[in-house]
Amino acid sequence: MHNIDIPLAVQLALSEDLNGQDADLGDITANLIPKEQEITAAIITREHCVLAGSAWVTETFLQLNKGIDLQWLAKDGDKLTPNQTIVKITGNARHILTGERTALNFLQTLSGTATAVADCVAELAGTSTQLLDTRKTLPGMRLAQKYAVRCGGGTNHRIGLYDAYLIKENHILACGSIENAVKQARQAHCQLKVEVEVENIEELNQAISAEADIVMLDNFSNEMIEQAVAINAGRCKLEVSGNITKPRLKALSGLGVDYISSGALTKDVKAIDLSLRVLAE
């Protein structure tokens, strides 16, 4: 999971609900329930989805009460159907209800990301084109959403600003040219991938001449992409980005590009409809 600090993420989320207090003080509504009462509850999905985020759910309840028991009936990456039970939770009633919203927030958001990715990956079935995410993630949820992308069958682009180069228009202007920017990148971190974003065929030729590892074709039309693939002739990996919609994916994959990247996968995420229900004795 790229060393995701799940305990810290959960701690911060619970603190938002509890105003930084212990659960027994911070959740005034749960305190209406007898202190020692125990229940069994289940989280179910109301719609088709791909599951992601189980570790965040487990961590939420264990931070509230280590005696809470979770019986997972599905695992991350599984395709779920409406009204399917995902997990059964048994333990202190107060603490289960205190953790309900935090747990569901993580699970609905990450499953929403995984589901959107899986829908798009299905459009690329039978091709060699990979679907990539971007850095357009929800604040504080970068690594969690990157994990959810993988649960949905997608591939992570760079994780942040530190693990690969992505040389864009402003970098090129500041460095003087694509050639200068790539040269400096090689000298600084020769082990890292160097990607150059281009906006026209002239810049594509410059990026190829500079021996970039990957060239991102930004907002190219399908005709321009076909031309770029012919010019490149396999010398660099080619990535298409900008105005990527689900209906375009199949056509784009047939043009011979290596990657298609989309910020919508993570920034436009639609939460999955989930519910936690207390089960009758």
**CB-side neighbour CA atoms (13 Å) of 62:** 12
Query: Taking Cα atoms as reference points, which of 1, 49, 9 lies closest to residue 270?
Result: 49
Choose the catalytic residue: 123, 133, 197, 239: 197
The question of whether 59 is a catalytic residue gets the answer no
The question of whether 136 is a catalytic residue gets the answer yes
Choose the catalytic residue: 135, 168, 183, 237: 168
- 133 Cα distance to chain centroid: 7
Choose the catalytic residue: 218, 250, 267, 273: 218
For residue 96, what are its two tokens?
A: 């289960």
Choose the catalytic residue: 17, 47, 135, 136: 136
Q: Are 55 and 6 in contact (CB under 8 A)?
A: yes
For residue 165, what are its two tokens?
A: 């180069």
The question of whether 16 is a catalytic residue gets the answer no
**CB-side neighbour CA atoms (13 Å) of 191:** 2
Choose the catalytic residue: 24, 78, 101, 237: 101
The contacts of residue 167 (CB under 8 Å, 6+ apart) are 175, 178, 181, 182, 185, 194, 195, 196, 197, 212
Instruction: Just list the catalytic residues.
Output: 101, 136, 168, 197, 218
